[in-house]
Structure 1
């Protein structure tokens, strides 16, 4: 893997010029004051944008939003993001994440689940979170990347007592440690992991 990393780092990064400004905008939107005053459309646009990270098809979220109407949907989305980022200090981030995944909070926005919650964390904490938005998926999440790139078998959620929220945070930090230094940012690191996964997959 060191050889692949060295090979990748020789390639000039091809960053989307829109990302820095877009994420800076949403860092302001997701600040406490910004979250309470932003236009509802700004929140809906975030859920459907692929700039900087691709959350996939958000049909469930969009259907719920359209059914609830802009005002109610925006309030639920604000409450969801606010709880994730600024919830009670005595409730760890992994537990807040799990509660939102489970839908146990009555204010949780329908469809605002793992990919979008992780995307919020990527924007607000860009030094920590890789732009790999799911733990496991057929298309490849953190679990699949760890297996294919590093030969590590991360646990299936149903096989351990850890919550999915804990697995999401743990696997992010594990991959971030494994990928190491030398990258411009965590998006660059994530791009390498996707590239390495595809290379290994093609080589069989």
Structure 2
């Protein structure tokens, strides 16, 4: 059976049949983003042609869902925020350069275990929460084994099998679905690895959901878009939500910032000034 997907947001979750057009063709309306289109351009795909990953991605929020009112508010506050130049961060820049080099395939395999522990326990570049679980696991396993498992976790995240998307590799490590996962080296630290290696793509916001600093909460407060909760047993898994929310925020926040750290600082600043309830619900 063929299904109809919205050509704007690609969702097939809430499609409505509209009134017939003047030429007699049928029209459709997407309940997710309110886009309407004629049947002649409606893309249809067999359910067997779309993976659960693709179908879940199609149900996630997109930038066109942002209301004009909320967009105007963000532009106004962004203009105010950008009047002040960001302070230099040489310590953070040095930290990122150091670990970009260390996480390369050639260096990671033979790096000093202490370098890996330094990364996991350092607050430079952003707070990732307590490292107590990681430190206890490090002491229990011993430096050599703990370092090897940390190396394997980082390598799997960055250079895992090509047929497993980054989002799903992140889920596997967070949920310890792979044997090499290191206890305590979870979502915040794994996201920090991504921020170090891909600084132009990943915002230094290290959790999908957390009071005050989670990407889900920021998206709701700043942009009025309500993102789904994590569901282990469905396609909305934590790694997918973490990456997709990052990509959405990066698109929504736009340009004008010196880097992703600057953009993240704006989002946190804006969140503290936002109070409106979410305008669009995304299942």
Which is further off, 112-121 or 16-25?
A: 16-25
The runs of at least 4 aligned residues of structure 1 exceeding 6 Å deviation read none
Question: Which residue is equivalent to 1:197?
Answer: 271
Matches of residues 1-204 of structure 1 in structure 2 within 5 Å? 1-158=74-231, 161-200=235-274
- Count how many residue pairs are aligned between Structure 1 and Structure 2: 201
CA distance in 2, matches of 1:157, 1:91: 19
Note the alpha carbon deviations across 1:60-90, whole angstroms, 9 max, x for none.
1111011111111000000000000011111
Q: Larger strand proportion, structure 1 or 2?
A: 2
The answer to whether the 8 A contact 2:191-2:206 is kept is yes
**Which structure 2 residue ranges, 5 or more long, are not aligned?**
1-73, 276-283
Tell me the CA shift for residue 169 of structure 1.
0.7
Kindly state the Cα deviation for residue 161 of structure 1 after the two structures are TM-superposed.
Answer: 3.1
Please give the alpha-carbon distance, in whole angstroms, between the structure 2 residues aligned to 1:191 and 1:111.
26
8 Å contact 1:76–1:108 — kept in the other structure? yes
Task: Kindly state the Cα deviation for residue 142 of structure 1 after the two structures are TM-superposed.
Answer: 0.2
Under a length normalisation based on structure 1, what TM-score does the superposition of the two structures give?
0.95
Q: Radius of gyration: which is bigger?
A: 2
Task: Tell me if structure 2 keeps the 8 A contact 1:29–1:35.
Answer: yes
TM score, norm. by length of structure 2: 0.69
